[in-house]
A and B are shown apart, each in its own frame.
Chain A
Amino acid sequence: MSSAPSASAINAANKLEVLVEAFISKLKRRQVTGSYNVAIATCQFLMRVTSISRWNTANEFITLIREIGKRITDSQPREFAAGNIVRRVLAIVRDEINLNKTFNDNNSTNIAPVSASMFQLLITSNKEKDVGNIKINEKSDLRSIIIQGIRDLMDEIQSVHENIELMTVDLIHDNEILLTPTPGSSTVLNFLLKASLKRKFTVLITENYPNDIELCHRFAKKLADANIESVIIPDSTVFAVMSRVGKVLIGTRSVFVNGGCVTAAGVATVCECAKEHRTPVFTVAGLYKFSPCYPFDRNSLIEVGNSGKVVPYEDSDLVGKCEVTNPLYDYVSPEHIDIYITNIGGFSPNFIYRIILDNYYTNDVDLS
């Protein structure tokens, strides 16, 4: 980048550096948290990077974004959404390159678009629109196409709830008892609120002590305000009530290529109980949560939080004398999940790799 030593180039490089550093420290300081917020923030950040940065060819841009993506994922490896968005943007660029290639060289066929287009037949999403957009703008600057792509991506993220809600009527029956162990998930909340318009059902909410207990109360209140019968149960009674539960509904932080997912602590136990009782487990997640990474080291996926939430810090009799750990996340393996409900439809965990292949390029999985 700074190969050209002109003042403006250095200025631009500096500007970019400020931008990247500011975003990384924002993530590090947890000033942005939660998959949704991080995804939107990353989109906005990448949009600015695209407009500020200087590059001549698409490949240069790809290297730049990969570099930035690497820094982001290294600095905050457990905000998976940031890495996903970076890869999605890379996919937009690569799509564009491939499209140009196919356009220039009509006879050559590219494997990736074909496999993608096969899948296009099965789904009805805005993916087709994307392709259309690019075709129209093929002559114009790549930069504006990328920015448009990111804008579309943001629209997709922002409309996730609406698209997921479309399926509520098919999935939830009248007088059903649902259990949700992730009161922190706004996707689950919107799903239930939407369902309550057509169906009457009861929701059991685990209290998720100690980390999400406030969220749980807020969640229950919102449901109660919408006239949904909601019951808060302690985490320990999950197994006892499972026999009466019709469906378990969970939200996630990230879905991995093998169909497993990372979600709030305690959910793994709930899914285990559900399996024991043959209760179906539904996972709601937006497409932006799908990560092309494979969860090799499961311990490294789990964030360990403030010990003070488990044992109050003032309790000097225990502090320093016993080891206290407070994991915030759980990894749920694909065997424990029956279906993923996303904004592009419902899929079995076995099929997740396919969706990921359609939205990401395999050479972007490893950003380094």
Chain B
Amino acid sequence: MPPKQNKETDDEHKFQAIVLADSFQTRFMPLTSVKPRCLLPLANVPLIEYTLEFLAQSNVVNEVYVMCCSHADQIQEYIDNSKWVTISSPFKKIQTISSKESRSVGDAMRDVDSRGLITGDFILISGDVVTNLDIAKVIEDHKKYKSNDRDYICTMVLTQASPMHRSRSIIEPACFIMDRATNRCLYYQDLPPINGKKTSVNIDPEVLEDIAEFEVNNSLIDCHVDICTAAVPTIFQENFDYQTLRSDFVKGVLGSDLLKKHIYSYITNDQYSARVESWQTYDGICQDVLERWCYPIVPERNLLEDQTYTYGSQHIYKENGVILSQSCKLQSAVVIGKDSFIGDETAVENSVIGRSCKIGANVIVENSYIWDGAIIEDGCIIKHSIIANDAIIRKNVILNPGSVIGFGVVIDENVIVPNNTRIIKQRIKNSTSSNIISSDDDDDDDEKDEHDSDDDEFDGPSKVVNELTLRDPSVVGYNGLGFLYEDDEEAQNEPSSGIVYEMAELNLSDSSLASSAITVHHTNKKKKRSHSSASGFVSEDEGESFDKEAIATVERAMENNHDLDTAMLELNTLRMSMNVTYHEVRESSCLAMIKRTNHFIETGTLGVKDAAEKIFRHWGKMFNRQVFDDADQVDLLLIIQEICYKLDEDYKALLFGCVAVVLYDIDILDDENIIAWWNSKESKKIPEIREKVAKWIEMLQEDSSEEESDDDEEEEEDEESEEE
């Protein structure tokens, strides 16, 4: 039977696939300013081919939608000229969707939903996945879950790897908690980037209730292959604040009591899957492909129509028409594209060389990726670097580990490029600091000439660049072409963004991370145990569970942007059912809000003031139903003071101040009550927090003294006695 007919007969079992061709990240800058990430070559094949091949291999996909954002025209053009649109394509339909306004996965998913593309179950995959996964098994599981669990929405495919694995993401490490019996994912949290600091995972014990056995796992390669039901885009649509797939969507869905949806995981051990999301994973996955860990996805598979790779021993792959001089040495894991030339005495090791490259004599190439048409002249040393298309490296250049040489850059003779340097041909104009750069530019141009003439006098091979200036000749040499690319944002946030990862440093930090995750696990178990043993003291237990429940409620409300009234109603119901006082309610809501605020501040999304403003301006109104009289107001301030005091941050006093001001602004607190608090004994116990607001209090005092003369102090005393 012809395959075409087959497809039509079992059309109802076919899946749609959404390929997220945009990464919504800038990790591959500066190269991604010219070419989208999914078209960057990995082992001389554009990345998106691996994803599409995976979908084709699965034999269950008949419609593919490629969601593009930046460089959509390039992707469109590539797809239109690829084998996937020909009549022999395994997909019945492949369509590129340009969604220019999308800024995140969430936006793209909302776009998908509003276009009404999804008609049934679909595979959600990012355009940079390399895998040899057998999707049939996952789909089997998916069907099983779907029929057994009405709340099922999605299966995540994860690969087990040891914590230090080279293809494991060190940029987006994450912790998954799974029910061992059913593989249901109970909790997800992304861990902050590894920078030597210990991190912890906070788990709500309630999540783990009724779970016989669970596992905490942070050693999974998350390749972002999800099999979803049609409910997923709707959830994105409903929760318009979801941005990322994992830290917003998965976490949000799992943490939400309202949605009550279940996400399962599929963990594979023997199959390969990884995502090219940083230079480090690019390097790792490239080596994996060459060393055949991803078999049958290997270079001689010739994913592109016109490729002619053949395998040779020691993992050396050559295309037709490669010219190797007799004395060149190809050590393990090398790919060489068509019409490339390698000169005498040149040693190439663990590297990929594209098509029509010219590599001169006595060159050393180690762990480097040289893309099509690049020229490397005699005597260069290239280690752990990427040289993009049509770049020219002149004689005796040394590229130190981590160098990225952009498209068409020329590096002049005898230049030494320092570690982790990125060089581009043209400055990127739309960067945030463009103004500064361009203004600097003019000055530089003037200076350049002088500088150059100076350089010429002692233009020796020892021209080491020490300072990272914008002056191009100092980076690429006198006759070079290109600018230094600096991305300060990235430099701060992601210390390990280079292609080379300093193993020593990383080792430490990651193992500490792993161990801390384990301790979390233990303490949690202990907690649970003590919890159950203390179940005799009903009242105590109840109080504790109210705290948690209330905090969770408020958190949920904030996270999912619930209606204020709903949240208040929920809290009130909770209060009545648990029979606790308003004091406790206030305590829990303050705790939750401050935690949320602190989260914003910690992650650096907002400043202290903005964060406090954002949360308390809106959610502070909740106190309308929690704070009734003057004593309550003082109590509220005391609670906030105490919570802030317990925060282990140096901005805690500032935070308190901001919160108090906001609450005052929205009329939760009256000035006399603030002054009452200021004078109360309890508040004086924690002087650190008070300092910041001293000025403000003074102001308030002045204001109020104008209106009411001196019954303040009497009132205070009354209140205090009332409280006690």
Report the Cα distance A315→B160, complex, angstroms: 10
CB distance from B508 to the nearest CB of A (A): 16
Which of A91-99, A146-154, A237-245, A321-329 lies at the interface with chain B? Answer: A321-329
Q: Which residues in A have their C-beta under 8 angstroms from that of B310?
A: 300
Near A by CB (< 8 A), chain B positions 31-73 give 53, 56-57, 59
CB distance from A262 to the nearest CB of B (A): 15
CB distance from B136 to the nearest CB of A (A): 11
**Docked-complex contact A308 and B293, CB < 8 angstroms:** yes
Say whether, besides A19-B2, A30-B296, A323-B332, A316 and B314 are in contact (CB < 8 Å). Answer: no
Say whether, besides A29-B56, A305-B295, A323-B315, A316 and B88 are in contact (CB < 8 Å). Answer: no
Which of A20-28, A103-111, A336-344 lies at the interface with chain B? Answer: A20-28
B280 close to A (CB within 8 Å): no
B86 close to A (CB within 8 Å): yes
B166 close to A (CB within 8 Å): yes
Say whether, besides A21-B88, A299-B313, A314-B165, A320 and B291 are in contact (CB < 8 Å). Answer: yes
- Can you give 15 contacting A-B residue pairs, CB < 8 Å? A19-B2, A21-B83, A21-B88, A22-B3, A28-B301, A30-B296, A300-B310, A304-B311, A312-B269, A312-B270, A314-B162, A314-B269, A316-B163, A317-B162, A324-B291
Beta-carbon contacts of B332-374 to A below 8 Å, as 1s and 0s?
A: 1100000000000000000000000000000000000000000
Q: Which residues in B have their C-beta under 8 angstroms from that of A320?
A: 166, 284, 287, 291
Number of A positions contacting B (CB below 8 A) = 35
CB distance from A158 to the nearest CB of B (A): 17
Near B by CB (< 8 A), chain A positions 301-316 give 304-308, 312-316
A278 close to B (CB within 8 Å): no
**Docked-complex contact A306 and B293, CB < 8 angstroms:** yes
CB distance from A258 to the nearest CB of B (A): 22
Q: Which residues in A have their C-beta under 8 angstroms from that of B90?
A: 22, 25
Beta-carbon contacts of B304-318 to A below 8 Å, as 1s and 0s?
A: 000010111111000
**Docked-complex contact B292 and A319, CB < 8 angstroms:** no
Report the Cα distance A299→B162, complex, angstroms: 34
CB distance from A355 to the nearest CB of B (A): 30
Q: Which residues in A have their C-beta under 8 angstroms from that of B165?
A: 314, 316, 319
CB distance from A70 to the nearest CB of B (A): 13
Near A by CB (< 8 A), chain B positions 141-175 give 160-166
Number of B positions contacting A (CB below 8 A) = 43
Q: Which residues in B have their C-beta under 8 angstroms from that of A1?
A: none
Near A by CB (< 8 A), chain B positions 253-303 give 269-270, 272, 284, 287-288, 291-296, 301-302
Report the Cα distance A94→B88, complex, angstroms: 30
Interface centre among A25, A300, A320, by most B CB within 10 Å?
A320
Query: In the complex, which residue of chain B has the Cβ closest to the Cβ of A17?
Result: B88
User: Do most interface residues of chain B lie in helix, strand or loop, or is the interface mixed?
Assistant: loop
**Docked-complex contact A313 and B292, CB < 8 angstroms:** no
* A-B contacts besides A18-B4, A323-B291, 4 pairs, CB < 8 Å: A22-B88, A308-B295, A319-B166, A324-B291
Report the Cα distance A315→B301, complex, angstroms: 25
Beta-carbon contacts of A234-270 to B below 8 Å, as 1s and 0s?
A: 0000000000000000000000000000000000000
**Docked-complex contact B161 and A305, CB < 8 angstroms:** no
Beta-carbon contacts of A7-38 to B below 8 Å, as 1s and 0s?
A: 00000001001111110011011110000000
A348 close to B (CB within 8 Å): no
Report the Cα distance A123→B381, complex, angstroms: 66
CB distance from B507 to the nearest CB of A (A): 11
Interface centre among A75, A305, A308, A323, by most B CB within 10 Å?
A308
**Docked-complex contact A29 and B57, CB < 8 angstroms:** yes
Q: Which residues in B have their C-beta under 8 angstroms from that of A75?
A: 302
Q: Which residues in B have their C-beta under 8 angstroms from that of A304?
A: 292, 311
CB distance from B308 to the nearest CB of A (A): 8
CB distance from B273 to the nearest CB of A (A): 10
Q: Which residues in B have their C-beta under 8 angstroms from that of A325?
A: 292, 313-315
Query: In the complex, which residue of chain B has the Cβ closest to the Cβ of A326?
Result: B292
**Docked-complex contact B293 and A299, CB < 8 angstroms:** no
**Docked-complex contact A315 and B56, CB < 8 angstroms:** no
Query: In the complex, which residue of chain B has the Cβ closest to the Cβ of A309?
Result: B270
A48 close to B (CB within 8 Å): yes
Q: Which residues in A have their C-beta under 8 angstroms from that of B53?
A: 29
**Docked-complex contact B269 and A31, CB < 8 angstroms:** no
Q: Which residues in A have their C-beta under 8 angstroms from that of B3?
A: 22, 26
B538 close to A (CB within 8 Å): no
B504 close to A (CB within 8 Å): no
Near B by CB (< 8 A), chain A positions 51-74 give 74
**Docked-complex contact A316 and B164, CB < 8 angstroms:** yes
Report the Cα distance A30→B332, complex, angstroms: 26
Q: Which residues in B have their C-beta under 8 angstroms from that of A315?
A: 162
CB distance from A169 to the nearest CB of B (A): 39
Query: In the complex, which residue of chain A has the Cβ closest to the Cβ of B164?
Result: A316
B87 close to A (CB within 8 Å): yes
CB distance from A340 to the nearest CB of B (A): 28
Report the Cα distance A14→B4, complex, angstroms: 13
Query: In the complex, which residue of chain A has the Cβ closest to the Cβ of B287?
Result: A320
Report the Cα distance A324→B292, complex, angstroms: 9
**Docked-complex contact B291 and A313, CB < 8 angstroms:** no
**Docked-complex contact B57 and A308, CB < 8 angstroms:** no
Interface centre among A20, A21, A314, A323, by most B CB within 10 Å?
A314
CB distance from B280 to the nearest CB of A (A): 12
Report the Cα distance A323→B349, complex, angstroms: 12
Report the Cα distance A25→B57, complex, angstroms: 9
Say whether, besides A18-B4, A48-B2, A319-B165, A313 and B293 are in contact (CB < 8 Å). Answer: yes
**Docked-complex contact A323 and B314, CB < 8 angstroms:** yes
Report the Cα distance A367→B4, complex, angstroms: 28
Say whether, besides A18-B87, A323-B332, A316 and B162 are in contact (CB < 8 Å). Answer: yes
Report the Cα distance A48→B4, complex, angstroms: 13
Q: Which residues in A have their C-beta under 8 angstroms from that of B270?
A: 308, 312-313
CB distance from A150 to the nearest CB of B (A): 16
Q: Which residues in B have their C-beta under 8 angstroms from that of A324?
A: 291-292
Report the Cα distance A324→B290, complex, angstroms: 11
